[in-house]
Amino acid sequence: MTQKTYFITTYGCQMNEHDSERMAGMLEADGYAKAAAADEADVVLFNTCCIREKADTRLYGNLGHAKAIKDKRPDMRIVVGGCLAQKDKSIIQQRAPYVDVVLGTHNLASLPRLLSESTDEPAFEILEQTEVFPSALPARRKSPWHAWVSISIGCNNSCTFCIVPAVRGKEVSRRLGDIVSEVESLVSEGVVEVTLLGQNVNSYGRDLDGKPLFAQLLRALDTVDGLERVRFTSPHPKDFRADSVAAMAESRVVCEHIHLPVQAGSDRVLKRMKRAYSRERYMEKVRMIRDAIPTVAITTDIIVGFPGETEEDFQQTLSLVEEARYDGAYTFQYSPRPMTEAAGMTGHLPKDVVQERYDRLTAMQERISLEHNLAAVGRAEELIVEGLSKKDPEKLTGRTRTNKLVHFRGSGLSEGSFCKVRIDRASPHHLEGSLVERGRPATARKLTLPLASTGSACTSC
């Protein structure tokens, strides 16, 4: 009998990337192998996102394509999981009745069962909430040297623009000892870098016995032998306190990069967003971080065109960007989402106004990113090699501890190995350099086949 195959397309954020790795892990434990393309697979999965409206449209386009393949190969199974499935279960049933399995964000582990139940009838199952942190699932990791590690799921905040609490449920933290054990086990498999995942990593532990703090978790990971780099996403400015900054500054492994989403620079807009900090409180945190970790790179998320945003409010965002001097920013045009308070607010802005503000903001951020990167020219930076450069296959790409992408010429360096590169040139989104030293080979393991993916940061739109 020939082996059954699967193919996963992932939208959205790192949580979804990690969930896709776990879906792949469960399927492989059930005897499936990864197909080279969706067109050839027995099971085609879409792990969806609904953070902005474009993500919805995109899914239905892709489902239409999958249906055309299923018409030719009726045995093919189509699975829709993730946040849009959680939001839209019945809509998917109506708009795409040929979908075989729909599962939400709270029942990932049910995938093998739902697949086996869907041979005659479609199997649709969405749960409302997860009460305890889900038990560990096998993961087919995309990378032999990097791993996502979930520290909490869900979100207890109520940012008025955001659909995440509605589709990911309330916050549930994972026990500190379980996180450390998973990291130790990953390191024993050759992992040198982990990224801790949570919607608000700084509220980690509040629901656990003994209330372990995020800072304690960072310090505990510092003692894991063989672990070289720890990243995390995302901290929430309102909960990011001096103890976490001190743990970062004193840690061997925690990287000098922090993604600290600000969303807007105007106090009036921040209030309407219910972000629970003022511009000044946010800037205090930025200063505290820079004082404690002078080499830190700070990045952010910004929403342009929130309902009621005036030109004056937007000027406040521009002046905050100038003051905070971010190394980079993910900039988004506000998109009204169902089940959110902002969708019902007055003052929704015309598309052309939002676009024009967005263009001004991105131009400013590009200039500042370039200024930061130009300052790195001439410096020697330690990189972990990530593979061949996508732009120029003659070159390799690596990442600094500050999360900057560097393209450089070098041969015989395997993925996951360390090296030192002198920075020669800079552009807003990457650096170019020359190899000066090979060092600290971290893993001899070879690359595994990557999962299909739309990228790392939130690429849903």
Considering the complex, what minimum distance in angstroms separates the CB of residue 1 from ligand SAH? 43
CB contact at 8 A, 372 and 403: no
Residue 87 makes contact with ligand SAH by CB under 6 A: no
Q: How many CB atoms lie within 10 A of CB 408?
A: 24
- Per CB under 6 A, the list member of 110, 173, 263, 266 interacting with ligand SAH is 263
Residue 157 makes contact with ligand SF4 by CB under 6 A: yes
3-state secondary structure of 298: strand
Considering the complex, what minimum distance in angstroms separates the CB of residue 367 from ligand F3S? 28
DSSP 398-457: EE-TT--EEEEE-SSPPTT-EEEEEEEEE-SS-EEEEEEEEE-----PPPPPPPP-S-SS
3-state secondary structure of 218: helix
- Cis bond upstream, residue 411 (ω within 30): no
> Binding pattern to ligand SF4, positions 183-222, x when CB under 6 A?
----------------xx----------------------
Q: 425 phi and psi, to 5 degrees?
A: -140, 155
- Specify the residue, 206 or 420, whose C-beta has the smaller distance to ligand SAH: 206
- Specify the residue, 45 or 55, whose C-beta has the smaller distance to ligand SAH: 55
Q: Which of 299, 363, 300, 309 is nearest to 334 (CA)?
A: 309
Q: Which amino acid is at 346?
A: T
What is the binding site for ligand F3S (CB under 6 A)? 12-13, 15-16, 49-51, 82-83, 164, 167-168, 458, 460
- Per CB under 6 A, the list member of 140, 236, 357, 399 interacting with ligand SF4 is 236
Q: Which amino acid is at 331?
A: T
- Residues present in the chain in total: 461
Q: Which two tokens stand for residue 240?
A: 């990011």
Residue 107 makes contact with ligand SF4 by CB under 6 A: no
Query: Distance between CA 451 and CA 426 in Å, rounded?
Result: 30
Residue 159 makes contact with ligand SF4 by CB under 6 A: yes
Residue 342 makes contact with ligand SF4 by CB under 6 A: no
Name which of ligand SAH, ligand SF4, ligand F3S, none residue 335 binds, using a CB cut-off of 5 to 8 Å depending on partner kind: ligand SAH
Query: Distance between CA 115 and CA 8 in Å, rounded?
Result: 14
Query: Distance between CA 458 and CA 445 in Å, rounded?
Result: 28
Using the contact rule CB under 6 A, the part of the chain among 158-166, 213-221, 434-442, 446-454 near ligand SAH is: 158-166
- Specify the residue, 229 or 259, whose C-beta has the smaller distance to ligand SF4: 259
Residue 167 makes contact with ligand SF4 by CB under 6 A: no
CB contact at 8 A, 138 and 28: yes
Query: Distance between CA 81 and CA 63 in Å, rounded?
Result: 12
Name which of ligand F3S, ligand SAH, ligand SF4, none residue 49 binds, using a CB cut-off of 5 to 8 Å depending on partner kind: ligand F3S
- Strand pairing class (297-304; 257-259): parallel
Name which of ligand SF4, ligand SAH, ligand F3S, none residue 12 binds, using a CB cut-off of 5 to 8 Å depending on partner kind: ligand F3S
> Which burial class, exposed, middle or buried, applies to 286 when counting CB atoms under 10 A from its CB (0-12, 13-18, 19+)?
buried
Considering the complex, what minimum distance in angstroms separates the CB of residue 313 from ligand SAH? 16
Name which of ligand F3S, ligand SAH, ligand SF4, none residue 337 binds, using a CB cut-off of 5 to 8 Å depending on partner kind: ligand SAH
- Per CB under 6 A, the list member of 13, 63, 162, 293 interacting with ligand SF4 is 162
Considering the complex, what minimum distance in angstroms separates the CB of residue 106 from ligand F3S? 12
- Contact positions vs ligand SAH (CB under 6 A): 51-52, 161-162, 164, 199-200, 234, 236, 261, 263, 301, 303, 332, 334-335, 337, 458
- Contact positions vs ligand SF4 (CB under 6 A): 155, 157, 159, 162, 164-165, 199-200, 236
